[in-house]
Amino acid sequence: MRLFEFGKYWSTATFILYIAAGIIISFLACKKNKRLCLIDCNKNKLCSQTNTGKINYVLIFLIFFLIYAAKDLAFGADTEYYVNAFLNSTSLVFSVDGWEPLFVLYNYLIRQITDNYVIYFSISALIVSYGYTYFIKTFWDKNCDRLFLILIFLDFSYYMNIIRSGIGMAFILLSFCQIKKGKILKPIIFTIIGTLFQYTLIVNLGFIAVHYFLNYDKMSVQKKVRILLYLFFLFIILSVLAKGLLLRTRYAHYITDSAPNILGYWAPILSGIAAIIELKRMKLSNTNRKFGVAISSSVYTIFLLEFAMILGAYRLINYYFMPRLLLWGFVSKQKEKRFPKDALLEKALIVCAIIFYALFTLSRRSSDIGFGYIFNF
């Protein structure tokens, strides 16, 4: 197996677009409101607050929106499939073997208004773009290295193709934001909404439980790690049992067509190890809740890896890409504070690692038809 598997549909222009958009977003993120100072005739300083911070988030939203909404029908292996589902949604029909109920209702309501798939893309883009922008606004600040946001289109572009998963994922991102605020009910509600767009997003209920378990202050870290180890083996047993059941369903091809490949999951594994190290080093108290989401999601991903390896449910790992990105931004910034003299060298190494990981991930997707981004102009 090669490290970079450039497929038949590889597009260098698409790679540059994703990296360039990520660089712009990383530059715009973390910008705070500035004070604009003027001098009047009496030499008195007059200061007023400008909304540069808010404007930057509007610009970030527009970047997401335009790239999503302006995609051509030929972009993505599944885009045309979803458009056909939308065009055929002339009646409201719910089925056990069909689409998720909220996605059926979503398609039906828009189809009653228009049959223009560009408008369909645009409405979907509004929801998904808001989820990503709000996540950045909620989590990224001076304590998190924004260089890692360069990779954000590795995740965003994935959900431009799978429309129902993208809409559901927007609600999962909002659930992360509510967890950061210490809420319990709202994350559950957002998760349920997301699940009704994409059933597999129900795994986020497990994440919410794991997060608040790790956030429980009256138990030692050592005991928490020991319980997590027991759960790890329990998940292996559950994965094997689930495999036997799913082989009799329409999801059987995910199991039979996929082969376990540990190389493809090195990044989530590395994130999980880093999360456990950070878990031992810091206390997940209210002051650290923001990065507690990043740590607990990376730990939870280790459990989901079992489902990915045994059941071929690789998409479960993708659901926690953004919190893992946050984790590495946090770890990088903490190291920079402890070793300020090495900051420049560290930045250079991070940029190299970002380019490496982007090539590693996108090259593996380029074997799918529709990998190259095409503007609908």
DSSP string, 196-255: TT-GGGGHHHHHHHHHHHHT-TTS-HHHHHHHHHHHHHHHHHHHHHHHHHHTTSTTHHHH
- Give tens-digit pLDDT for 187-217: 999 999 999 999 999 999 999 998 888 877 7
Whether the CB-CB separation of 205 and 214 falls below 8 Å is answered with no
What pLDDT is attached to residue 101?
Answer: 95
8-state DSSP, 29: T
pLDDT bracket for residue 230 (50, 70, 90): confident
Whether the CB-CB separation of 271 and 303 falls below 8 Å is answered with no
**Dihedral pair phi/psi, residue 54, rounded to 5°:** -65, -40
Q: Which two tokens stand for residue 49?
A: 């607050």
What pLDDT is attached to residue 109?
Answer: 96
Q: Which two tokens stand for residue 139?
A: 């989590």
Q: Which residue has the higher pLDDT, 122 or 235?
A: 122
Q: Which amino acid, residue 11? A: S
Lowest mean pLDDT among 43-52, 180-189, 260-269, 359-368: 43-52
pLDDT (average), residues 226-235: 82
Residue 123 burial (C-beta neighbours within 10 Å; 0-12, 13-18, 19+): middle
- Give tens-digit pLDDT for 243-281: 766 666 656 656 555 555 666 677 888 888 888 777 666
Helix (H) or strand (E) run with residue 66 in it = helix 52-69
Query: Which of 151, 137, 130 lies closest to 324 in space, CA to CA?
Result: 151
Query: Which of 26, 19, 27, 29 lies closest to 355 in space, CA to CA?
Result: 19
pLDDT bracket for residue 315 (50, 70, 90): confident
| Greatest extent of the chain over all pairs of C-alpha atoms, in Å | 83
Query: Which of 141, 136, 143 lies closest to 170 in space, CA to CA?
Result: 136
8-state DSSP, 342: G
**Dihedral pair phi/psi, residue 46, rounded to 5°:** -110, 125
Residue appearing with tokens 């959900």: 159
Query: What whole-number distance in Å separates Cα of residue 163 and Cα of residue 81?
Result: 10
